[in-house]
Structure 1
């Protein structure tokens, strides 16, 4: 007896299992190849002063956040009040990454909504965003004292994400001893 007629049935069942599993995946939880890796090397002008440089070295020695935003991004506007609140607390530095945005538009947006960022990198062409694995805006990275990316949030931050994911991670990372940086 030949079982050749069972091959299509087996393939069909395999596809049903794979598609069924996909129904339960969260599209916001896209794994990043950069988790637990050093931040990409970059050198960008700052948004506020194009003569001043913003480099990856800014993250060394402290737990911090790096928020990718743009003035044209409506979800960035939605999350912005949380970043203003977070920055007022002053516990951890919040750095901005202005992505594919005109300098004057971004500065006007920050003047209107408030500026929670310690410093802001300006990447109008979006080339540095490629190295960071940026899918779009907003995105937020949590960076440890050694300058390693420890978490990536794709999409806007809301209070639940901030309180249940980001803050506990920041606290845990702050308690980790800082390793000496070797050059």
Structure 2
């Protein structure tokens, strides 16, 4: 009589294990491997207004209006961000092509940390805006770093990527957008 009783003790544990596996399968199947496909309400709309200091020169301020006239790639990064380190060489290589200006958007970072990070890994940016308190990022809809936006010469957001940029992302997504801007 002890055999049926010991099996009955394992039944709740087995049921819990099955439920746990079903939950894990649901999470795995629902994940979105194409994170950059997240929609942005800014696409096709003017880039948000901002007035931010320049990293390393806090007396100098830059506004959205100052950047109009030529397209730019706004790359959101922070020294605290592992994905930013992962994408940094890719962003630097793209900046060297000079297809569009690459503007850094240093988000919620200490100036000393950001400067030290750039000294260590290189500074590919034509200009770096510093959003110390994160208020400007809210207007852009930024919820994590890295994120990257392509803004046309008129100041309209035409493309957004969430997560680290890769060579494949640049080839398949960014360059076609840049070519459209160049063709205008």
Superposition TM-score, scaled by structure 1 size: 0.81
Corresponding position: 1:56 with 2:64 = yes
User: C-alpha displacement at 1:73, in angstroms?
Assistant: 0.3
- The equivalent of 2:122 in structure 1 is 114
Corresponding position: 1:39 with 2:69 = no
| Superposition map of 1:90-105 within 5 A | 90-105=98-113
Q: In structure 2, what is the Cα distance between the partners aligned to 1:119 and 1:89?
A: 16
Q: In structure 1, what is the Cα distance between the partners aligned to 2:156 and 2:97?
A: 23
Unpaired segments of 5 or more residues in structure 2? 1-25
Corresponding position: 1:157 with 2:165 = yes
Greater alpha carbon shift after TM alignment, 148-157 vs 84-93: 84-93
Superposition TM-score, scaled by structure 2 size: 0.80
Following superposition, which runs of at least 4 residues in structure 1 exceed 4 angstroms of deviation? 24-27
Partner SS, residue 149 of structure 2? strand
Number of positions where the alignment pairs a residue of Structure 1 with one of Structure 2: 156
**Aligned pair in 2 of structure 1 residues 24, 113: CA closer, same or farther (>3 Å)?**
closer
Corresponding position: 1:143 with 2:151 = yes
Partner SS, residue 137 of structure 1? coil
Corresponding position: 1:128 with 2:136 = yes
User: C-alpha displacement at 1:25, in angstroms?
Assistant: 5.2
CA contact (8 A) 1:98 1:120 kept: yes
User: C-alpha displacement at 1:24, in angstroms?
Assistant: 7.9
Larger helix percent: 2
CA contact (8 A) 2:99 2:178 kept: no
User: C-alpha displacement at 1:57, in angstroms?
Assistant: 1.6
CA contact (8 A) 1:142 1:149 kept: yes
